[in-house]
Amino acid sequence: MDSLAVIMMLAVGIERLQEFLIGKKVSGWLMQTIAWIIGIGVCLLIQFGMFHELNLVKSADVVRAYGDYVITGLAIGLGSNFVHDIFSLSTKISSPKA
């Protein structure tokens, strides 16, 4: 669960950083593109990929590693609401129904 906390912290942090630096100057698709670029950049910089952290990717293949960083960066760039929704969905799927 530590990796999920890191993903959530990065998503919230990027959202707040973007609001602080850019604010209301940019909106729409440009704001989303900037968030994706920041998210991917952070994941590449710290070499953090959610699939690797969740042990879903076993290979040390460079293409898979960088693909993992890009996908994680895109998810983080979508923001904390999206990340929270994904985690909620994954816990609903993984928890057995009574």
Range of the domain at 46: 2-93
For residue 48, what is the DSSP state? -
Residue 65 lies in a domain: yes
Q: Answer with the residue of higher pLDDT: 88 or 47.
A: 47
Residue 45 lies in a domain: yes
Residue 29 lies in a domain: yes
- How many domains does one find in the chain? 1
Residue 52 lies in a domain: yes
Give the integer Cα–Cα distance in Å for 5 and 7. 5
Give the integer Cα–Cα distance in Å for 12 and 61. 29
Residue 31 lies in a domain: yes
Residue 98 lies in a domain: no
pLDDT digits (tens, 9 = 90+) for 29-86: 888 888 889 889 988 998 888 888 777 776 667 777 888 899 889 888 887 677 767 6
Tokens of 12: 């919230």
- Supply the pTM of this predicted model: 0.71
DSSP for 74-92? HHHHT-HHHHHHHHHHHHH
